[in-house]
Amino acid sequence: MLEGIRGYMMEIVVIKYNMLIRSTDELCPRIRKRLEKEKEVARLFVSRQSHNMRCEVEMGDEGYIVDLTLKECSYGYWQLSGLPCCHAVSAISHLRKNPDDYVHPSYLVRNVEECYKGMTTRNGAAARRNEAAAAARRNGVAAARRIGAAANPPNESQPRQRRGNHCSKCGSATHNARTCPLNRGVGIQDVRLNVGDRFTIERELRQATRVIGVYVDETTGNQYVRLNGANGRFVGNPPPTQPTEMDMPGSQPPPTQP
C-alpha cells in the first residue's frame, strides 16, 4: 500500500511541476481566480484613509479597519488565508497599490516550484517488499487446515463432510451405544429397537406391577413375572419358556424331602 501511495505522489509531483513551469503569472492559477473574485466584490465597498497605511472600509452599516503595514483586516480572513479579502483589496486599490504585492509568498509560482523540484525515488527497503516478515507464533493449538482434493482449485474452500450418528460398540448407523443389542447379555437374540431401552422398561414395569403373574407387553414383547413381590424380566422373540421359581430373582429354593 505504501508503494502505491509513493507512485501516486510521484505522478502528482510531475503534473504540478509541468503546470507551474508553463505558467507566466506570478501567482498560482487557483490563487489568481480567487483574487479576481475578491476584486469584483471590492467594488461595492467605500474606503477612507484614516492614517498613513490604514483605511476604513464601509458598505452600508458594515465597517472594517484595514492595516496594510501589518497586513491585517478586522474581518479576519486575510490573517487566516494569507490572501487579501475584498475589504483589503478595496483599501489597496484606494491607496493605488497592487493587490498582488500583498499576497503571501507561499502562493507565488517561484516558491511553489521549489517544492515540486524534488524527485520521489524508490527506497532500499521497497525492493524487498515481496518478502513476508516472520510472523510470531501465537499461543495455543494451531488451527488445522483442510486440504481439498487435487481436482479442486486451491482458492475454493472445501465443505466439511459430516459423519452421521453411529454406535461406538458395533459400528452400526441404525442405533447408538445406549440401545445397542450387545448390552442385553449373551444368548439373547433380539434386534428390535427400543426393546431394552431404560425408559421403555420403566414404563413396562409400572404396568407389570398392577397384575399378579405374567405380563407381556404388546409393543415390545417383553415379559414380566410378579411372584412374591419380586419382578423378573425376560426379553426375547419368541418369548422364552415359562420360568420356574428357581429362575426368579429373590426366590427361595424349595425344601428338600426327608
| Span 107-162, pLDDT tens digits | 998 888 888 777 666 665 555 555 666 677 777 666 655 555 455 555 556 666 66
pTM of the predicted protein model: 0.44
N- to C-terminal Cα separation, the chain: 108
Buried/exposed code over 174-195 (b: 16+ C-beta within 10 A; e: otherwise)? ebeeebbbeebeeebeeeeeeb
Give phi and psi for 43, each to the nearest 5: -70, -20
On the question of pLDDT at 20 being above 50, the answer is yes
> Beta-strand (E) ranges in the chain?
46-49, 54-59, 62-67, 72-73, 213-216, 223-227, 230-234
For residues 223 and 205, give the distance between their C-alpha atoms in angstroms, rounded to a whole number: 10
Cα–Cα distance measured from residue 88 to residue 57, given in angstroms and rounded to the nearest whole number: 8
How far apart are the C-alpha atoms of 9 and 119, rounded to whole Å? 10
The Cα–Cα gap between 107 and 99 comes to: 13
Q: Which residues contact 30 (CB under 8 A, 6 or more apart)?
A: none
pLDDT in tens, 177-208: 888 777 764 333 343 445 556 777 778 778 87
Q: Is the distance from CB of 179 to CB of 196 less than 8 angstroms?
A: yes
Position 234 scores a pLDDT of 41
Question: Coil, helix or strand for 137?
Answer: coil
Per-residue confidence (pLDDT) for residue 231, from 0 to 100: 45
d(CA 220, CA 237): 9
- Residue 162 pLDDT: 67
Say whether pLDDT at 1 is over 60.
Answer: yes
What is the average pLDDT score of the chain? 74
C-alpha cell at 66: 484595514
Give the integer Cα–Cα distance in Å for 125 and 33: 43
Nearest to 83 by CA among 60, 68, 99, 63: 99
φ, ψ dihedrals at 234, nearest 5°: -130, 130
34-65 pLDDT, tens digit each: 999 999 999 999 999 988 889 999 998 889 99
